[in-house]
Amino acid sequence: MQLQGKVAIVTGGASGIGKDIAIGLSKAGAAVAIADINLAAAQAVAAELEAAGGKAMGVAIDVTDEAAVEAGTQQVVDAYGSIDILISNAGIQVVAPIHEFAYADWKKVMAIHVDGAFLTTKAALKHMYKDDRGGIVIYTGSVHSHLASPLKSAYVTAKHGLLGLNRVLAKEGAPHNVRSHVVCPGFVRTPLVDKQIPEQAASLGISEAEVISKVMLGNTVDGEFTTLQDVTDTVLFLATFPSAAFTGQSFVVSHGWYMH
Ligand code: NAD
């Protein structure tokens, strides 16, 4: 229960990686706000956490909407007192080659990943900077924060962008006791990835099995998907680390797909 008394917001916490991180934070004792565009799903996750003995709430937040982010963050502060941990995780994927990539899709991917990270960080910092009480912001990046793959121009650009925001926050936040990191998973079996398998097979003209074995896992050291637990364990390690020895870092959790 290392996070007893701490308050966390997890964006995109209603599904996949965000949901698993929310469960992990809750088990570690934090009060957890599941912030998602899908309020019903967020409330369902919060109910699961409460049923397991945790303290949790669902909050409707579209991370691209400044007013919604401000209001949702305030709702959490009103309920739980402040914010100690922000997990900026909400994300989507759109795959297409650049010459066919719809500008509307480009803007949507950039808005959710980059604008969403900025807006949720800005809203959380207002509370973390108060009396320099501090906190930690963890962005869900990706191996695609460091590497490129065909068909993912907007996603790769957005995920690279998070490294920059993270490093600026590490510097600006330090005097206020705020730390910041990007956790960069390889492929994790979530709805976001399951949707891509047939799409990539069609775009690349290969079978779904080949998308998995070659495109997704071909460069890992063990041919294994990254697991939800791999990612959550990394987040918990960073969220409970006792000093600012680590800040502004990128932690790649990818079974050796990308090493730096
Ligand atoms: P997911 O589709 O399972 O969950 C994404 C969640 O984000 C959903 O609950 C969705 O409702 C929410 N969301 C979408 N748009 C939103 C918005 N505008 N405002 C608030 N919430 C919104 O996806 P996932 O695989 O769990 O992905 C979570 C994060 O992890 C994303 O940032 C993704 O890029 C990143 N990631 C995923 C993988 C992977 O292999 N699954 C790998 C590396 C990084």
CA of 185, closest atom in ligand 1: 43
What percent of the chain has a predicted confidence (pLDDT) above 70? 100
CA of 143, closest atom in ligand 1: 43
| Cα 178 to averaged position of ligand 1 atoms, centre (Å) | 24
Confidence of residue 66 (pLDDT cuts 50, 70, 90): very high
Query: What confidence tens digit (pLDDT) does each residue in 73-93 have?
Result: 999 999 999 999 999 999 999
Q: What pLDDT is attached to residue 47?
A: 98
Per the model's pLDDT, the better-predicted residue between 174 and 244 turns out to be 174
Query: Atom 10, ligand 1: which residue's CA is nearest?
Result: 12
Residue 184 CA to residue 19 CA, distance in Å, equals: 16
Q: Is 209 exposed, middle or buried (0-12, 13-18, 19+ CB in 10 A)?
A: exposed
Contact 234, 226 (CB under 8 A): no
Q: What pLDDT is attached to residue 172?
A: 98
Query: What confidence tens digit (pLDDT) does each residue in 200-218 have?
Result: 899 889 999 999 999 999 9
Pocket flag, ligand 1, residue 118 (CB < 6 Å) = no
Q: What pLDDT is attached to residue 203?
A: 87
Q: Which residues contact 12 (CB under 8 A, 6 or more apart)?
A: 18, 35, 36, 63, 89, 90, 91, 140
**203 alpha carbon, distance to own chain's centre:** 27
Pocket flag, ligand 1, residue 18 (CB < 6 Å) = yes
Pocket flag, ligand 1, residue 17 (CB < 6 Å) = yes
Q: What pLDDT is attached to residue 192?
A: 87
Q: Is residue 226 over pLDDT 90?
A: yes
Pocket flag, ligand 1, residue 36 (CB < 6 Å) = yes
Query: What confidence tens digit (pLDDT) does each residue in 114-155 have?
Result: 999 999 999 999 999 999 999 999 999 999 999 999 999 999
Pocket flag, ligand 1, residue 12 (CB < 6 Å) = yes
Contact 70, 45 (CB under 8 A): no
CA of 113, closest atom in ligand 1: 32
Q: What pLDDT is attached to residue 96?
A: 93
80 carries an active-site annotation: no
Q: Is residue 1 over pLDDT 90?
A: no
- For range 184-209, the mean pLDDT: 93
Domains of the chain, each with CATH number or no CATH: 7-187+227-253 (3.40.50.720), 189-225 (no CATH)
